[in-house]
Structure 1
Amino acid sequence: MYVRPRIILVENHQKKDGKYPVKVRICYLRKTKDFRTPLSLTKEEYVNAILPNPPKKYKEIRHQLDALTAKANEVISCIENFTFQKFKDGFYNIKKESSNVYSVFEEFIKMKLVSGCYKTSVNYNTAMESFKSFRPLLNFYDVDTQFLFKYQDWMINAKGKSETTVSIYCRALRAIINYSISKNYLKKDFEYPFGKYKYQIPGGRKVKKALTLDAVEAIFNFQAKPYSMEDRAKDFWLFSYMCNGMNVNDIIRLKASNIDGNMIRYHRGKTFRTTQSNRPLISISFEEEIIIIINKWGNLNPNGDDYIFPILDKNDKNDEAITKKKELFTDSLNKHFGRICEKLEFQNPKITMIYARHTAATVLKKANIPIFQIQESLGHTKPETTKNYLGDFDDDSKIEVTKSLMRFKKAV
């Protein structure tokens, strides 16, 4: 978008000496802003100075006006993604004490590591490296709407990444900006680039991750070689599903102390930094099929502080070590469960452990279980998160909805 400065005389603001202030007017995206200059002129001086060939007595004034235009054009030419604030900073030579984005990223990552959030620190580091590849040097005042749209275009068209990846990385950058604002690293003139009529982070493509009950039945009846890796993958997928979609992180952290009579009760590992009173307690009926899997792959009678499944050791205190063990275990389960899906000739052979959680939520939804109860079963603190887990109804259900609307027609 072309930006052109104009020199104007502000005739509605006469000074005591009878002169009027001269300003630089900038028009951009149908918005206009005027910027003051140290120059003041009478109407006669201004009118004669802007003539194509001004009289000799006004030529010096013309040189001053031309110098202002030249300075404005020079500032504009140095701005990659124009904003009025950037023009103001350059025109008045305002030196910003803006922090480097990556230094704050690193500060935030260290904070997460110290608090034991190893996985989160890895995710933010990955996002930071992506932005570094796009722009090796980046200050907060460079992060505007145009920058974000260019980054999104570069990621999708040049790097071949998905909108989901762009969404994850941009949410990380937004968190860093919010963190910087909370720490007063940014001044009040910082233009927040996210939100309505600004850059809106893409939602990403929503992939259906819920299986039908027929598919769950096929998995349950699949005959794997006893105690093989496929047998283990099958059992842990079903364990997750039958335990209200318990994720792998919580499965490997289960202890004997979580067994309460005929119930399993636990807090999600993901929420252990949440205020204690806000942490939902998840309760699961201790059904026979669940007991069989625990007896097969774990130990129902350990000491209270021992893990039920031998994935973690009670001496594992470091979050990094726990995360790596969890990821190795999850990768193994996904790999061998994928082979089961191929043998069952599922249309999507890349079904992973997370599908058990989505399937459990969707089955409960189709059974008309209230959403607040599904939310409690999944351990979500917000109903919006639960809604994201709930799969769409299948075509048969949608056809039935339409037929219900047509029942006003009398049978012929």
Structure 2
Amino acid sequence: MAKTRTAQTFFELFDGIIEANIHADRIGNSDSYRDCKKCIERYHKAHGKGQLTFNKITVSWLNNFDRWMSTEGRSNTSIGKLTKSRGLSETTRGIYLRELRAALNTPVNNKAIFDSEAYPFGDKKFVIPTGNSSNKKIALENEVLRMLLEVTGLTPAQERQGHFGFFFLF
């Protein structure tokens, strides 16, 4: 039987989901939700007022959060006195936003968090980015792989280096 969530706040909901994933031995999922929660906490600390409640998660909030993630979403990196803010990739932003959507789709006290009109995701509302082609992985063609394997005239040291390099391609 499914456990009833009794979260009163947004972050309590995330804590419950993280805990449920740990108990179900889905450690990767719990880590991913934890990272998403930390990102939302950083955003809310910088831009939010008061407690983050479910009704504050609107299309406008999601657009602002996504924009913030694209420019400042990572933890700051400090090198000496220089502190640099970096954005998250479109893929990571999409992962966090899908986890946020999944969390908001989780019933609390056997009731949906949003009615259909207030639900911020979907057509003509907030659409989650899906990644772009700039970080798309492209496989080498078979002919190129064959050429790499059939290279001749190498010294034993070069051949060994080539084997290590080839090994780390996969």
TM-score for both structures, normalised by structure 2: 0.69
CA distance in 2 between counterparts of 1:102 and 1:220 reads 53
CA distance in 1 between counterparts of 2:42 and 2:61 reads 14
Correspondence 1:179 to 2:106: yes
Confirm or deny: 8 A CA contact 2:106 2:113 kept in the other structure. no
CA distance in 2 between counterparts of 1:225 and 1:211 reads 19
CA distance in 1 between counterparts of 2:102 and 2:109 reads 10
Give the match's secondary structure for 1:160.
coil
Aligned ranges 1:315-326 → 2 under 5 Å: none
Structure showing greater Rg: 1
CA distance in 2 between counterparts of 1:199 and 1:191 reads 12
1:161 aligned residue: 88
Aligned ranges 1:136-285 → 2 under 5 Å: 136=45, 137-158=51-72, 159-180=86-107, 183-184=110-111, 186=113, 188=115, 191-206=118-133, 207-221=136-150, 223-224=159-160, 230=164, 234=167
1:68 aligned residue: none
CA distance in 2 between counterparts of 1:98 and 1:107 reads 7
1:111 aligned residue: 20
Confirm or deny: 8 A CA contact 1:98 1:139 kept in the other structure. no
Aligned ranges 1:1-400 → 2 under 5 Å: 99-136=8-45, 137-158=51-72, 159-180=86-107, 183-184=110-111, 186=113, 188=115, 191-206=118-133, 207-221=136-150, 223-224=159-160, 230=164, 234=167, 337=168, 353=170
Structure 1 position 192, deviation (Å): 0.7
Give the letter aligned to residue 134 of structure 1: Y
How many residues were matched structurally? Answer: 138
Give the match's secondary structure for 1:224.
helix
Higher strand share: 1
- State the Cα deviation string for residues 246-273 of structure 1 (Å, max 9, x = none): xxxxxxxxxxxxxxxxxxxxxxxxxxxx
CA distance in 2 between counterparts of 1:121 and 1:221 reads 45
Confirm or deny: 8 A CA contact 2:11 2:37 kept in the other structure. yes
Confirm or deny: 8 A CA contact 2:90 2:129 kept in the other structure. yes
Give the letter aligned to residue 43 of structure 2: F
Give the match's secondary structure for 2:126.
coil
Structure 1 position 221, deviation (Å): 4.2
Give the letter aligned to residue 149 of structure 1: N
Structure 1 position 198, deviation (Å): 0.2
Summarize the Cα distance change of 1:127–1:187 in structure 2 as closer, same or farther, 3 Å threshold: closer
CA distance in 1 between counterparts of 2:101 and 2:121 reads 8
CA distance in 2 between counterparts of 1:98 and 1:188 reads 17
Summarize the Cα distance change of 1:146–1:125 in structure 2 as closer, same or farther, 3 Å threshold: same
CA distance in 2 between counterparts of 1:217 and 1:124 reads 42
TM-score for both structures, normalised by structure 1: 0.30
Structure 1 position 187, deviation (Å): 5.8
Identity %: 24
CA distance in 2 between counterparts of 1:163 and 1:182 reads 33
Confirm or deny: 8 A CA contact 2:70 2:87 kept in the other structure. yes
Confirm or deny: 8 A CA contact 1:98 1:185 kept in the other structure. no
Confirm or deny: 8 A CA contact 1:109 1:124 kept in the other structure. yes
Q: Which runs of 5+ in 1 are unaligned?
A: 1-96, 235-336, 338-350, 354-412
Summarize the Cα distance change of 1:109–1:116 in structure 2 as closer, same or farther, 3 Å threshold: same
CA distance in 1 between counterparts of 2:17 and 2:89 reads 25
Summarize the Cα distance change of 1:184–1:221 in structure 2 as closer, same or farther, 3 Å threshold: farther
Q: Which runs of 5+ in 2 are unaligned?
A: 1-5, 46-50, 73-85, 152-158
CA distance in 2 between counterparts of 1:129 and 1:214 reads 45
